[in-house]
């Protein structure tokens, strides 16, 4: 659950505006200009720098178990990473990841 629902609308609005201006930045505002190589080199890694760090704690210390590491979730995540890298299929990753979670939970009773 979101503990403070008062934050939801400000986040939606600010993200809508911010994301739009990121998309419009060069096309509409900055035009055709060379970006420095070092800047592009860093920009390439922003996504892969933020997202894994964001989910690692969710996998290791899930809210649903009160933060205690849970074997089913760790195995499910490992399977999902494997399928994701191997097959690059979104549906495959989600199905096998969630499937592993249910399977291990079922086997553990």
Partner 1 sequence: MTTSNNSMKSTFWRGFRNGLPFILVVAPFGTLFGVAATEAGMDILQVMSFSVLVIAGAAQFSALTLLIEDAPTVIILLTSLAVNLRMAMYSAALVPHFGKLRTRLKLLISYFLVDQAYAMGIKEYDANPEQPIENKVAYFFGIMLATAPFWYISTYLGAALGASIPEAFSLDFAVPICFIALIAPMLRTIPHIITAFVSVALALSLAWVPYSLGLIIAAILAMMSGAYAELKLGVENDT
37-58 burial, b at 16+ Cβ within 10 Å, e below that, comes to eeeeeeeeeeeeeeeeeeeeee
Considering only 36, 38, 68, 108, the residue that binds partner 1 (CB under 8 A) is 38
Segment 42 to 81, residues that bind partner 1, using CB under 8 A: 42-64, 73, 76-77, 80-81
Segment 87 to 106, residues that bind partner 1, using CB under 8 A: 88-91, 93-94, 97-98, 101-102, 105
> Does residue number 36 form part of the binding site for partner 1 (CB under 8 A)?
no
88: left (phi over 0), alpha (psi -120 to 50) or beta: left
């Amino acid at each position: 659950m979101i503990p403070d629902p008062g934050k939801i609308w400000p986040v939606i609005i600010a993200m809508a505006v911010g994301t739009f201006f990121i998309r419009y930045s060069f096309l509409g505002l900055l035009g055709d200009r060379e970006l420095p190589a070092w800047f592009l080199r860093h920009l390439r890694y922003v996504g892969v720098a933020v997202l894994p760090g964001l989910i690692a704690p969710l996998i290791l210390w899930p809210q649903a178990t009160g933060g205690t590491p849970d074997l089913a979730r760790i195995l499910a995540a490992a399977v999902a990473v494997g399928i994701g890298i191997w097959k690059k299929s979104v549906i495959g990753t989600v199905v096998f990841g969630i499937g592993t979670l249910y399977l291990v939970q079922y086997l553990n009773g």
